[in-house]
Amino acid sequence: MRDLDQWVIVCEDVQKSFGRFEVLKRVNLKVARGEVFCIVGPSGGGKSTFLRTLNALETFDAGRIRIGNIELPSTRREVIEIRVGMVFQNFNLFPHMTVRRNVALGPVRARGLSWRDSNERSERLLTRVHIADQADKYPGQISGGQQQRAAIARALAMEPKILLFDEPTSSLDPEMVQEVLQVMRELAHTGITMIVVVSLEGAVVRQRMELIKSSLICGATRLTCTLCGSAKRLWSSDFRRTNDRIF
């Protein structure tokens, strides 16, 4: 019971292949309740695939994944019930709906909340991510940073206990990155469990790492990463955990 209370995510020897290409190679990790956890690595290293397995958006071939008290593979409904939310790299907002409607839709469809109550929740969350004044606009009418903050509000509308971020700032202009990071920093202090996927891309990574408490290094090729100001060589045969701050 103590292990179940402490570790909200447990992965043991998780494997995933696309044809003959092995994407996940016996991944083992544990994420504590309330932890802010980062997966760092180059494009093609399997980071997003791994994140999608945690949200039942992707199957895995072997190994074990436990989210809360649910063993995967499981249904999307069960994953929703244990409150796992996800923020995607490309926002994935419905272009024909206002920002308010995008945020309010999930609780109505998945949890049976009334439109009135869901709209009220939407307005509170949009205020929380600092875009309440954009509520009646459509995604195409607001900036990329505002769209990503709307996507975070949409994920929060489902009241998740675990929030997965798939490279949440990679598609943003540099001046918009800080807008999203500020919201993520605020969330990191609320006790919600966060897993953040980040690519290794020089100075941008250093900027993003400000909110990270612990991280997991992965990769698809040999590469150099700067850890605490010194270059270290990383190899891709497995995932390795470090408590170093990467900026």
Give the confidence band of 181 by pLDDT, cuts at 50, 70, 90. Answer: confident
Q: What is the pLDDT of residues 40-74, one digit of tens each?
A: 776 777 888 888 898 888 889 999 999 888 888 76
pLDDT of residue 4: 56
Instruction: Report the sign of the C-alpha dihedral through residues 131, 136, 141, 144, in that order.
Output: positive
Give the confidence band of 80 by pLDDT, cuts at 50, 70, 90. Answer: low
- Give me the residue label for tokens 């024909």: 96
CA nearest to 139, candidates 147, 131, 128: 147
Please state, in angstroms and rounded to a whole number, the distance separating the CA atoms of residues 179 and 181: 6
**Residue 161 in contact with residue 79, Cβ under 8 Å?**
no
Q: Is the pTM of this model over 0.85?
A: no
Please state, in angstroms and rounded to a whole number, the distance separating the CA atoms of residues 67 and 60: 14
pLDDT of residue 79: 67
Three-class DSSP category at 147: helix
Strand partners, 232: 225
Question: Based on the number of CB atoms within 10 Å of its own CB, is 175 exposed (0-12), middle (13-18) or buried (19 or more)?
Answer: exposed
Per the model's pLDDT, the better-predicted residue between 64 and 177 turns out to be 64
